[in-house]
Structure 1
Amino acid sequence: MRTSRHVERRSFLKAAGASLATVGLTAAGCGGTSGSAGGGPVTIRYAWWGADDRAKRINESIALFEKKYPKIKVKTDFQPYLDFWKKFNTQAAGGNPPDVIQNAVTFLRKYAARNVLLDLRPQVEAGNLSTDNFRSGLEKFAEIDGKLLGLPVGSNSMGYIIDEKLYDKAGVTPEPGWTWDEWYAGMRKIKSRTGVAGDSGPHSIMYYYDLRLRQQGKAFFTEDGLGFTESDLTAEWTEAMKHIRSGLFTSPKRADQVKPKSATAAGLSAGEFTWDNFTVRYAAEGKSSYGIAPIPTTDGKKTGQYLGSLMLSGTARTKHPKEVATFIDFMVHDPEVGRIMGYDRGVLSTTEQFEAFEPTDRVSKQIAAYETRIAETGVLEPITPHPAGADVVESAFLRLATEMSLDKASPGEAVEKFFTEAKTAFTANA
């Protein structure tokens, strides 16, 4: 059994590597020298977003780090996602950001352009940080103009989370390669046979629309702007409003009433698009059983998927780049940290941690099986670059799609406002 499991995992690493070998982004950052040349104890600050369970896991991992490196103390801070970035923006503007942050691709170019992020490449060359044993391609995820601005702690991909009981009751079975027409037909059958909306409404999810675009040979972002037109988005949002009014998508007002619980976990829809590692929230919030279904396709083959990742980045103003590198190295390579963190931030990114974590719960097994399957089938593609200002654009997309769904704006009006705000965001971050 053990041997078979390792063969399966190695197969996943090989398949993922073939799809991700060309992953890469572009921009700038800077570094410094360690402030601990005299060998005295130092304290570094580490900030991330997440909830209490993530904090518990991270603090347990830090305790291991401090035991191994007693001269390095780690002061921690965590916030919910939006609060984290508000606080970090203020700290970065004031010249006092944390030494290490949890980071995401949406923010790389923005903070690289402002020279906020530490180039970790010198620390790799000095032997303080290893880029070995990453699932092939992931070590390049935060590589920008030859500078290394972070290392991934895990990977995830977009999935379609379904309420398995509702799908079974309606007699709908999602299969790899199913088309959007089959997806819509399945939702209509679910609505007819169960009275529940087929989907929570994907119109406000930027990464869902990115998949749709990538299946058509486009993408949400190019290196310096948007990769689609106003007419593209008007057609998409007009179609979404039709499905909201027909009841095929969940009523936005009802979905808003159950927040922060998701519409699917609340029993208001049979499925919704989200990152595969978020599957854990459905088991915690809902009363049904939930699975990860394949992404529908345009041609029965191309899903537009890629591996995304949370990462750890250092900040350029740190006085302790060596200690920052030592900490990041430990957090991404140490096997015991992998066992502690599990798939909280995605499927573990290094072979040491990937091999060390033995999934025992149903949800973690589902996530691992899903990412193994999409890697082996060869659907994964390189991620497209996220230009500086992408975070502002994503926020505008969510807000304006929500306003439209609540009949506060027509699709055309919402699209016009979105393109205006996107242009302003890109100009401000150029």
Structure 2
Amino acid sequence: MRMSRHVERRTFLKAAGASLAGVGLTAAGCGAGSGSSGGPVTIRYAWWGADDRAEKINRTIALFEKKHPKIKVKTDFQQYGDFWKKFNTQAAGGNPPDVFQNAVGFLRKYDAKRVLLDLGPQAKKGNLDLANFRAGLEKFGEIDGKLLGVPVGSNSMGYIIDERVYEKAGVTPETGWTWEDWDDALIRIHDKAGRAGDSGPHGVMYLYDLILRQNGKAFFTENGLGFTESDLVPYWTEAMKRVKSGLYADPKKVEQIKPKSALAQGLAGGEFTWDNFTARYTAEGDSSYAIAPIPTTDGKRTAQYLGSLMLSGSARTKHPAEVATFISFMVHDPEAGRIMGYDRGVLSTTEQFEAFRPTDPVSKKIAAYEQQIADAGVLEPITPHPAGADVVEAAFLRIAGDMSLGKAPVEDSVKQFFTEAKTALDS
């Protein structure tokens, strides 16, 4: 998830909320044929991420073009927020990239705007291979009987910690630790390691979703929000107390170091995010990082689920067969899997999963973590993501950030969030 890193998402203010009212794509003529006359075909491929991801993707594209010399791939990438700003502009102008990186929170939104290509027909024609996906991931991008995305990897929420800081504080997170245990850890890190215990998790929608799920609710239902103002007020009130006490990192300093993370820059001892971002923290920081278990309410249920980045096609593409061929290569080719590693999550197909045997410590940690939660049986079905979920996520992050900086009190911030969420989900 479907879900990029929340540090990147802090830059995603109004980007995902940009209106696509003017898109008005019609199904007629969109993706009706390959558009190929036997000569070279060029498709445009766009994604979000950092330079290290771009380097790996460019290597896989070179491999693809070598094996498919009649298909050329033109690339484009930006940071998370900038990507969606540009994508919205392109989609509104009827010219989105042929194939692009996507996440579950965007599927219903862009399907409703007729932006996404149904890849199901291409699978039936043999241009897209849907065999050998791990854990049923081939179904992850299905919405209302249409295949709108194909997963490139799987990941789950984890608590990434600075191992040196936790060792200095004398804290060892273990499976089944509770939120009370986590609270105690924040205090010990603050007092013994001289650092904020956490970067400030109260704007991370996917974390709050887990907390709600542990308590019998969820962030979303099929049609709207699954919680109320009376749920959010105490959560954000407690968060502000921790900001003021120094248990959460100084929001002003966190702002100053963006897009880098507070954890990697030594401002905090831990940060809730997707497990595969352990690799990025290791690249950014100068410490050793581990994936700790998600704290629980009852010592048992973490309420976790698998998320995934995926590849989607444009309904406007003139080359649906080539798009499907490209996607199929990117999720099945063993060498492409060895190149990408776990950059976008644990590889989604058995061909790539078996081809990439991690030797570096970080990838081994990610693989071990996903194996651990799978063996523990804690994984559950993903929370629904209605149309407008991406705008709601952006609002949750932005409003929590503004609140942390003292721009609005808790009660006003909560009301603002519910007002914006209602507008996004009703539109």
State the TM-score, normalizing by the size of structure 1: 0.91
Equivalent residue for 1:21? Answer: none
Amino acid paired to 2:405: L
Equivalent residue for 1:299? Answer: 298
Q: Tell me, in whole angstroms, the C-alpha distance in 2 between the residues paired with 1:360 and 1:396.
A: 39
| 2:368 is aligned with 1:369 | yes
Contact 1:29 1:112 (C-alpha < 8 Å) held by counterparts? no
In the alignment, structure 2 segments of 5+ residues that lack a partner are 1-24
Q: How does 1:105-144 map to 2 (within 5 A)?
A: 105-144=104-143
Equivalent residue for 2:166? Answer: 167
| 2:185 is aligned with 1:186 | yes
Distance change >3 Å, CA 56–CA 368, structure 1 → 2: same
Q: Which moved more, 1:302-311 or 1:191-200?
A: 191-200
Equivalent residue for 2:38? Answer: 39
Q: Could you say what secondary structure the match of 1:241 adopts?
A: helix
Q: Deviations over 1:228-254 (max 9, x none)?
A: 000100010001111112221112122
Q: Tell me, in whole angstroms, the C-alpha distance in 2 between the residues paired with 1:358 and 1:315.
A: 33
Distance change >3 Å, CA 56–CA 177, structure 1 → 2: same
Distance change >3 Å, CA 213–CA 387, structure 1 → 2: same
| 2:260 is aligned with 1:257 | no
Aligned residues: 401
Q: Tell me, in whole angstroms, the C-alpha distance in 2 between the residues paired with 1:162 and 1:109.
A: 34
Contact 1:29 1:118 (C-alpha < 8 Å) held by counterparts? no
Q: How does 1:1-400 map to 2 (within 5 A)?
A: 32-36=31-35, 38-400=37-399
Q: Deviations over 1:284-324 (max 9, x none)?
A: 22222111100000011110111110000011111111111
Give, in angstroms, the shift of residue 177 of structure 1: 0.6
Equivalent residue for 1:8? Answer: none
Equivalent residue for 1:25? Answer: none
Equivalent residue for 2:405? Answer: 406
Q: Could you say what secondary structure the match of 1:137 adopts?
A: helix
Give, in angstroms, the shift of residue 29 of structure 1: 10
Give, in angstroms, the shift of residue 369 of structure 1: 0.5
Contact 1:203 1:209 (C-alpha < 8 Å) held by counterparts? yes
Contact 2:48 2:83 (C-alpha < 8 Å) held by counterparts? yes
Q: Could you say what secondary structure the match of 1:269 adopts?
A: coil
C-alpha RMSD over aligned residues: 1.4
Q: Deviations over 1:73-110 (max 9, x none)?
A: 11111111111111111111111111101101111110
Q: Tell me, in whole angstroms, the C-alpha distance in 2 between the residues paired with 1:29 and 1:104.
A: 23
Give, in angstroms, the shift of residue 187 of structure 1: 1.5
Equivalent residue for 1:23? Answer: none
Equivalent residue for 1:3? Answer: none
Q: Deviations over 1:260-306 (max 9, x none)?
A: 22112122211110111111122222222111100000011110111
Q: Tell me, in whole angstroms, the C-alpha distance in 1 between the residues paired with 2:26 and 2:153.
A: 23
Amino acid paired to 1:243: R
In the alignment, structure 1 segments of 5+ residues that lack a partner are 1-27
Q: Deviations over 1:394-424 (max 9, x none)?
A: 1111111111111211111000000001111
Q: Tell me, in whole angstroms, the C-alpha distance in 2 between the residues paired with 1:275 and 1:187.
A: 20
Amino acid paired to 2:83: F
Identity fraction in percent: 74
Q: Tell me, in whole angstroms, the C-alpha distance in 2 between the residues paired with 1:47 and 1:290.
A: 30
Q: Could you say what secondary structure the match of 1:160 adopts?
A: strand
Equivalent residue for 1:12? Answer: none
Report runs of 4+ in structure 1 exceeding 4 Å deviation. Answer: 28-31
Q: Deviations over 1:20-70 (max 9, x none)?
A: xxxxxxxx9966332345423211111111122211111111111111111
Contact 1:124 1:131 (C-alpha < 8 Å) held by counterparts? yes
Amino acid paired to 1:191: H
Contact 2:36 2:319 (C-alpha < 8 Å) held by counterparts? no
Give, in angstroms, the shift of residue 391 of structure 1: 1.3
Q: Tell me, in whole angstroms, the C-alpha distance in 2 between the residues paired with 1:265 and 1:348.
A: 25
Q: Which moved more, 1:364-373 or 1:276-285?
A: 276-285
Q: Tell me, in whole angstroms, the C-alpha distance in 1 between the residues paired with 2:41 and 2:300.
A: 52
Amino acid paired to 2:54: A
Give, in angstroms, the shift of residue 372 of structure 1: 0.7
Q: Could you say what secondary structure the match of 1:239 adopts?
A: helix
Q: Tell me, in whole angstroms, the C-alpha distance in 2 between the residues paired with 1:386 and 1:330.
A: 28
Q: Tell me, in whole angstroms, the C-alpha distance in 2 between the residues paired with 1:124 and 1:353.
A: 19
Amino acid paired to 2:426: T
Contact 2:132 2:351 (C-alpha < 8 Å) held by counterparts? yes
Amino acid paired to 1:156: N
Q: Deviations over 1:133-186 (max 9, x none)?
A: 000221001101111011000111111011111111111110001000111112
State the TM-score, normalizing by the size of structure 2: 0.91
Q: Could you say what secondary structure the match of 2:65 adopts?
A: helix
Q: Tell me, in whole angstroms, the C-alpha distance in 2 between the residues paired with 1:96 and 1:247.
A: 47
Q: Tell me, in whole angstroms, the C-alpha distance in 2 between the residues paired with 1:277 and 1:381.
A: 19
Equivalent residue for 1:9? Answer: none
Give, in angstroms, the shift of residue 209 of structure 1: 0.6
Q: Deviations over 1:107-131 (max 9, x none)?
A: 1110011111000111111111111
Amino acid paired to 1:271: G
